[in-house]
Structure 1
Amino acid sequence: MNILIIGNGGREHALAWKINQSDLCKQLYVAPGNAGTAACAQNIDIKATDFDALAKFCLSNKIDIILVGPEEPLVKGIYDFFTTNPETAHIYVIGPSQEAAQLEGSKAFAKAFMDRNKIPTAAYREFDNTNYEEGVEYVRNHALPIVLKADGLAAGKGVLICHNHIEALAEFELMIQQSKFGDAGRRVVVEEFLHGIEMSVFVVTDGINYVLLPDAKDYKRIGVGDTGLNTGGMGAVSPVPFADAAFKDKIIQRIVEPTIAGLKNEKLEYKGFIFIGIIKVDDDPYVIEYNCRLGDPETEVVVPRIESDFVEILTAIAEKRVNELNIAISKDAAATVVAVSGGYPNQYEVGKVISGLEVTSFKDTVIFQSGTKISGNDIVTNGGRVLAVTSFGDNISEAVEQSVYMLEQIYFDEIYFREDIGYEFKK
């Protein structure tokens, strides 16, 4: 099969690395890709949202499967674009329809979906310009902390946790009246704050059947001990130690199965991956959010633990036979530590030469590239999150220690990474 991966981050490098191992893959392309994907696939200089150019490329190169990495093309309707065009309808697109992708594209849509399907989540109200004054009163009288979420996609920056009413009211005004997050924040979901510990669950579905991939826990804060600003993710671990069999059963019965049933009953076309952000409150799971694709950096810790042929998984999704899958998972623990540019998640410089990447063949470690590009004979930084180093171990402590050691062998100016990923679980 000829396969096209869409995206340019560490997630896409991890997917390319895994798919490249399959005998079922004849030719692998990534659009637009990065310096890492160039080592295991052919990069194509086409933007992820340029559907016309992607279609032309797919027809010229006889693409059989398109695997969509990031959320933006899914929310903008890439699945519908390809499947409703007679010339491209034969190409398998791994991802939900535009309507189903609103599970991520609209917080209000996701909340209403959960309400209809009796899926446990935080209590909420939604507001926009038409009921702004009512929203002000609601925020003013809400228990603290209070969570404000921009309804649409806001590049991972649209969720605010406010610890006093003055801050909450100011942010509420900035979002709705001052367009702080552009169109994404013109509608705001106001949620109760749930106290607990978070994890990520990954579901493979064809819209009717499902199987679970390994679970993971990611670390969003820039600083040691989960302090400082939120980022796109500083690392992840898998499996999640606190998610025992009894808790996973609750997740399946109360969240996963009602989600799949809801997709089917509401005729939401969904062939792909569902990322469910879960928070454990006491011993009960609640949904924080849905994502309509695999997460990043969770993909870099989850995909390496999958021992089955990944192209077989993609084909089963497309052909609506996920029920036939029996996915083998490594019993080893895995940990991903992300190296970022100095200044991230605020302003940072790019174009820094990266050295030490030749250690990629080290046993039990894989280096995935995210914000990189090729410049002459060098690989240089090209984003905030630059590398994701994944290692295996008998436990999380061993895996994290190995990833940190490997990152200490790599250098670019102002490199920064957290050495305490998985700190709650270290032995």
Structure 2
Amino acid sequence: MREILIVGGGYAGFYTAWGLEKELRRGEARVTVVDPRPYMTYQPFLPEVVAGSVEARHAAVSLRRHLHRTRLIAGAVTEIRNAAHTVTIRPQSGPEFDLHYDTLVVTAGAVTRSFPIPGLREQAYGLKHVEEAVAIRDRLLTSFDRAATLPDGPERCRLLTVTVVGGGFSGVEGFGELLGLASALLKHYPEIKADELAFHLVEARGRILPEVTDRPGEWVVRSLEKRGARVHLNTQLLSAENGRVVLSDGTEYDSGLLVWTAGNASNPIVHNHTDLPVDEHGLLKVRADLRVGTETEVVPDVWAAGDDASVPDLAVGRPDARTVPNAQHAVRQGKRLAKNILASLRGRPTKNYEHHSLGVVATLGLGRGIFQYRRLVIKGFPAWLMHRGYHVLAVPSWERKARVFAVWATAALFGRDIVSLASVQHPRDAFVSSGEPRRQESR
């Protein structure tokens, strides 16, 4: 039986495996997915997980629940040796081992790009995984609890200061949702005043949200500033040692919460540990039909999609155009990958990937959003409704759609849950601190 190996269970990998399962004939091929996590993260919901508008588990789609005929390996691929049709896998338990394949699909996904900034790794949270979104939410809620018991002073000010670095979609949406959550918390914390909150959005370029045009981007900045935030454009983070934020525009302050969303980098397995062809950015060279290779030379039986693939964007019409790394492309590339792999197995011609953008939509907090499709721009509550409507339809499986919609309906009636579960990160502390249980006296 032919072995189809998919490296990565994110958007592109999940939809490729899902599509293959539906169409493969019995005995035609076996599909294997290797990923350290047992679920696909629906990343557009992470900002709402931060704000408590979506339950954390509802933003994660279980691979085992939906991929019934796929072999799943919980581990990380550490090396790809396509010359030998072999990968090395480091499982979560046990020694590394090699796995042979006949067809390889690389959808490993990007990693958060960071720089050697003093204190960044010690202080900052990313916003790429469910665990990070939950930790950010709990950190803010815990900071409110602590600040409410403190007198005015540096420590209270630090706890109520939030910094988000990165003005792309993840950063702006996460920032807007955090700001909305903090504003909503004020009615439950009469000890804290609105003017005590300090929210800083830091972007190295001269504008935020590069996917939208200039005027909508400027409107988003004005909207955030009207809500009390401060947006630092053309500004870089210089240091975050001990929580002390130093910016290149001369601003310096203590921040109780630092979130880093300043772009993605190619996965190290693709950039450093493969004999497959990569471009100057460390991305796999991919043809329009999602085969790895160039127009003149193809790598047989190797395919790629998603954030680690440099896929030609045929919809733009320029020979140098490449698809942007977002969920809209990754989902559709995964579906096209499944169809093209099946066509290749059965000796039929493949089709090129081409997708015309449906527009871009972002949430800026509860009841606030922005949508743009070409020259059409929609702002405020209607755009927020469009954001929710699109993503509840886009999240895989009716089971997840129903769960997310139920949480939204409950929140509309009773408001968001504001319980912090930060202690879940150290679940044994209460047991250990309680001491040994007393022995029952024998009768």
Q: One fold, TM greater than 0.5?
A: no
Higher helix proportion (structure 1 or 2) = 2
Scaled by the length of structure 2, the TM-score of the pair is: 0.30
Rg larger in 1 or in 2?
2
State the TM-score, normalized to the length of structure 1. Answer: 0.31
